[in-house]
Structure 1
Amino acid sequence: MIRLNQYKYKEEYTYYMLQSLKDGKKDSFRKDFLDLHPMDQATFFIELSEERRFKIYSFLTPCEFGEIFSELEPSLQKKCIIELDRPFAVEMLNDLPPDDATDFFGLLSYKEADFYLERMEKDEADDIKQLLKYKKGTIGSLMTTDVVTVAKDDSVIDVFERLKHNEVDAETFYYLYVTDSNKQLLGVVSLRELIISAPECRMVEIMNAGIISVSADTNQSEVIQIIRKYALLAVPVVTENYELLGIVTFDDVLSYL
């Protein structure tokens, strides 16, 4: 992944991408553009004319454009959603992490939100509807429901095989959350612990049962203090019965400071 942090290099790299865009060289553009860090992709995109933005929409998949969309300011997100073909927009919203999608839906009118929610995949739409219920300023409004969960009897080798061969539907994961059949949170396993443990070890043997968690209505400032105090990368969000609802990551919280 390339970061455009040197002006001369950035200017040259940008020039060649613009030429590929202008000349309709899709493969050449995709090769250079998709090598960039998402933040640099967004910076490049922001500076484009409407005509060139439309060219990018045709060069990228909905999932690829979603990486850019998540980095855009709300005003530009609203402009893009109008410019995008409706099926493309719906597919992109399906692929967005639930917390990012929820932030965007919070910008829309009820009529606009309903239009997209009715056309999205049911599971994705249900996650967003649930997150939209939480008050602004609470952790529920920031959490993501994309969480990597494992069973207490899963072995280390089984978990590694799952992570290696199956698509893990999670935006980021720093910890594995051990849950029972009722989604009740039993413990947490760090990736470090997973790596250093013997292949035959079970999750129940290596998990930390002393879980630090918060409820969905916890204030964001309180969670910031918890993250700082315990040096956590993510905090599980649970119900009063300890059912796992999602997680909030340190970067999600810090972005609202």
Structure 2
Amino acid sequence: MLEYERSLSLNFEESSRIEKDGYTVRDVSYLSPYGGKVPAYLVVPDAGGPFPAVVFMHPGQGNRTTFLSEAEALALKGVVSLLITAPAMRSHPPKNLSEEQRLNLMLEAISDIQQYTQIVVDIQRGVDLLFSFENIDVNRLAYVGHSLGATWGGVLAGVEERIKSYVLMAGLSSVSEWHKTSDHPLADLIRAKLSRERFNKFISELEPLDALHYINKAAPASLLFQFVHDDEFVPKHQADTFYSIASSPKEISWYHTDHLFTNCDAAYQDRTQWIIKQLGLDNK
């Protein structure tokens, strides 16, 4: 289900670029094995290399711009970043839809299993893209994912051997359990609006993709988990399970902030320093 043909053409395109002091932000796209194009930003330091690289995946509330400021800061330290927009965020519904129509579209998107497998495969295809560049050090590759990006980053860690380090921020170890048991308003809404038959089918297809089936296979990659006390989306037992099941080496940190880590400088500093160390830049 998570396999794809790596010999497929990347169809890499660049639509524009913005040159800044010390690096360039390139607006790019590449072909998804599921069809269509993956919109991304490629942030590249000025002359030098080969550079280590980081792939970023945003939370469900974000897009490829979410981690752009972090990628720009890393570029000044000599790191290439690839920031991808997830499949569900690549199109926007017409503005004249009713609330009921918008709700139905949202439910269709959430219950579409293909979008979840596509997230993982599109990230792997992004790694293929990075490997195609001569100025990338393919032995120093990291991943940062938040919420949506952490939940499916946990799956990615079990199937993608080329990434050496993962930062997983506020992810779910079992997204299927969340849908079945969470008292969050979104979970309540999904259970109320989907028919019993459709909901059960959704869960049965989702359960094999839970990150807890994959995160124990991440080794030898190193893992940093970042969680929030009293997270409105991620129950503590899910966080504890994610960390306890994960393979070693691994670390975990907890923060007093919201699910989106709003203005949480401590979490930003911790993951930045961890990434720098993992990429072998701490003495440079």
Give the alignment's TM-score, normalised by structure 1. 0.33
Hey, which of these two has a bigger chunk of helix by percent? Answer: 1
Hey, which of these two has a bigger chunk of strand by percent? Answer: 2
Higher CA-based Rg: 1
